[in-house]
């Protein structure tokens, strides 16, 4: 991938911008493979709430990473999409 290092840096920087709960949810779900049911139980919330939180965390990460890539590459969202970056 042509922009692999830029994308990795954008994602890493974007993760640091997320709140603690969002970062933790993403790490537990994506890295540790915990289910939404398990996350809900850990936080003492319904699985639907845990799912909404996870969707929100993913969206926030994507938006921040996309913004970082726009700056790094000097590109628009349309140009990023045409390059296959952060679809």
- Of 57, 77, 79, nearest to 67 (Cα)? 77
Whether the predicted pLDDT of 84 surpasses 80: no
Report the distance separating Cα 25 and Cα 58, nearest Å: 9
Helix (H, G, I), strand (E, B) or coil at 55: helix
Q: What is the pLDDT of residues 38-80, one digit of tens each?
A: 999 999 999 999 999 999 999 999 999 989 988 988 887 777 7
Tell me the pLDDT band of 23, cut-offs 50, 70 and 90: very high
Report the distance separating Cα 10 and Cα 53, nearest Å: 22
């Amino acid at each position: 991938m042509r922009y692999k290092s830029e994308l990795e840096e954008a994602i890493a920087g974007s993760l640091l911008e997320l709140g603690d709960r969002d970062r933790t949810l993403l790490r537990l779900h994506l890295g540790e493979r915990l289910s939404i049911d398990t996350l809900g139980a850990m936080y003492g919330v319904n699985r639907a709430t845990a799912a909404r939180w996870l969707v929100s965390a993913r969206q926030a990460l994507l938006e921040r990473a996309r913004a970082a890539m726009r700056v790094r590459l000097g590109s628009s969202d349309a140009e990023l999409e045409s390059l296959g970056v952060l679809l």
